[in-house]
């Protein structure tokens, strides 16, 4: 009797609670965050800010993984009035964060590390101030952007606003062009790399959401034999720079230095694509909105259209 009453009470409680909560969101970690009011004072990770700002949701503060000027994801976004409370990975100014009295922390959930953007230290520092939530990093940047649309809409964004619609339309056009370009060159193969003074690092498609997008849209990416346990890269001594022979090389463009380093290596041109100048940018890990995705896709499409697809044997 007592037990069934308790069960009934519990059922009532779980079904009734969301009705009282004014705002709820299921985060990438599977947990639901519920608040009495729609949160307005948001602290966002650099990537979450890059996802939300173009949709009209302006955080009160951003914590970045590096100097904001070097944060590729934030480039071109209007950051006036937004406080920067972290400019190094794993670091955040907790006093500034507390003074801002945030309602919500928005970050991205990393399924492999089972933590949020910025790592455990940042999460431990920020989570006492407000609940932390956000979308999950997964197999596609496109679905990540759609997750941000859903989150932004729940926070009160007007997704039909002209600038948002224009960005989305530009992306749709760029995507159609990209698919047409890859379809027109069925033999074209590509390789995504990061170049260091010590070695050439070849990226695994499965380690980068945008590479998985490109592959699903028809780009044939060469997958390296990944030895390191994190499964992101194969490390090639510059003596072995010609282990793979793609028709098109994509170079990580988070820093312009990477391309300069690549071009300065004597054996860079052992790859026929490098010799022929069939090299373009890889927007590695940083795309979070339609506007940036559209312009990066357009660059790739131009490179694919200009490339000789039968360069490599």
Q: Interface residues with other proteins (CB under 8 A)? A: 66-67, 70, 88-89, 196-199, 234-240, 242-243, 255, 257, 260, 264-267, 270
Q: Whose Cβ is closer to other proteins: residue 81's or residue 266's?
A: 266
Report the C-alpha gap between 83 and 19 in whole angstroms: 34
The answer to whether the beta carbons of residues 256 and 197 sit under 8 Å apart is no
**Measured from the CB of residue 207, what is the shortest distance to other proteins in angstroms?**
17
Q: Please, which residue, 37 or 69, has the CB nearer to other proteins?
A: 69
Q: Is the dihedral of CA 39, 40, 41, 42 positive or negative?
A: positive
Q: Which is nearer to other proteins, 272 or 299 (CB)?
A: 272
Q: How far is CA 241 from CA 4, 29, 202, 277, 280, in A?
A: 69, 39, 10, 16, 17
Instruction: Output the CA torsion sign for 250, 183, 303, 311.
Output: positive
Q: Which of 157/191 has CB closer to other proteins?
A: 191
- Least Cβ distance, residue 78 to other proteins (angstroms): 23
> d(Cα 266, Cα 73) in Å, to the nearest integer?
31
Residue 261 CB, nearest approach to other proteins (Å): 9
Rounded to the nearest whole angstrom, what is the least distance from the CB of residue 14 to other proteins in the complex? 45
- Rounding to the nearest 10 degrees, give the CA dihedral for residues 104, 109, 114, 116: -50
* CB-based contact 172:142 (threshold 8 Å): no
- In the complex, the smallest distance separating the C-beta of residue 101 from other proteins, rounded to whole angstroms, is 27
**Cα 11 from chain centre:** 39
Instruction: Give the nearer residue to other proteins in terms of CB position, either 89 or 217.
Output: 89
Give min distance, CB of 82 to other proteins, in A: 21
Choose between 154 and 265: whose C-beta lies nearer to other proteins. 265
Least separation in angstroms between CB 263 and other proteins = 12
Q: How far is CA 93 from CA 67, 83, 114, in A?
A: 14, 11, 23
Of the pair 154, 235, the CB lying nearest other proteins is at 235
Looking at the DSSP assignment, which residues form a beta bridge with residue 24?
34
């Amino acid at each position: 009797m007592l037990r069934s009453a308790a069960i009934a009470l519990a059922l009532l409680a779980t079904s009734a609670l969301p009705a009282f909560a004014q705002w709820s969101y299921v985060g990438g970690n599977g947990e639901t965050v519920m608040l009495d009011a729609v949160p307005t004072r948001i602290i966002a990770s650099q990537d979450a800010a890059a996802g939300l700002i173009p949709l009209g949701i302006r955080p009160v503060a951003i914590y970045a993984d590096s100097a904001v000027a070097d944060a590729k994801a934030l480039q071109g976004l209007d950051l006036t009035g937004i406080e920067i409370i972290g400019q190094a990975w794993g670091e955040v100014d907790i006093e500034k964060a507390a003074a801002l009295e945030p309602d919500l922390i928005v970050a991205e959930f990393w399924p492999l590390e089972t933590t949020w953007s910025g790592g455990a230290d940042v999460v431990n520092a920020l989570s006492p101030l407000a609940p932390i939530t956000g979308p999950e990093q997964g197999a596609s940047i496109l679905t990540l952007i759609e997750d941000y649309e859903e989150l932004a809409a729940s926070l009160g964004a007007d997704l039909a606003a002209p600038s948002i619609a224009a960005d989305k339309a530009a992306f749709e056009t760029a995507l159609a062009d990209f698919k047409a370009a890859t379809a027109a060159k069925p033999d074209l193969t590509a390789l995504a790399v990061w170049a260091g003074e010590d070695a050439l690092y070849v990226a695994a498609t499965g380690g980068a959401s945008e590479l998985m997008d490109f592959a699903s849209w028809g780009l044939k990416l060469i997958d390296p034999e990944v030895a390191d346990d994190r499964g992101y890269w194969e490390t090639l001594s510059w003596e072995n720079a010609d282990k793979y022979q793609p028709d098109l090389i994509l170079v990580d463009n988070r820093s312009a230095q990477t391309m300069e380093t690549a071009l300065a290596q004597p054996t860079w041109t052992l790859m026929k694509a490098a010799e022929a100048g069939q090299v373009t940018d890889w927007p590695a890990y940083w795309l979070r909105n339609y506007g940036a995705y559209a312009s990066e896709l357009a660059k790739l499409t131009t490179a694919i259209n200009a490339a000789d697809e039968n360069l490599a044997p």
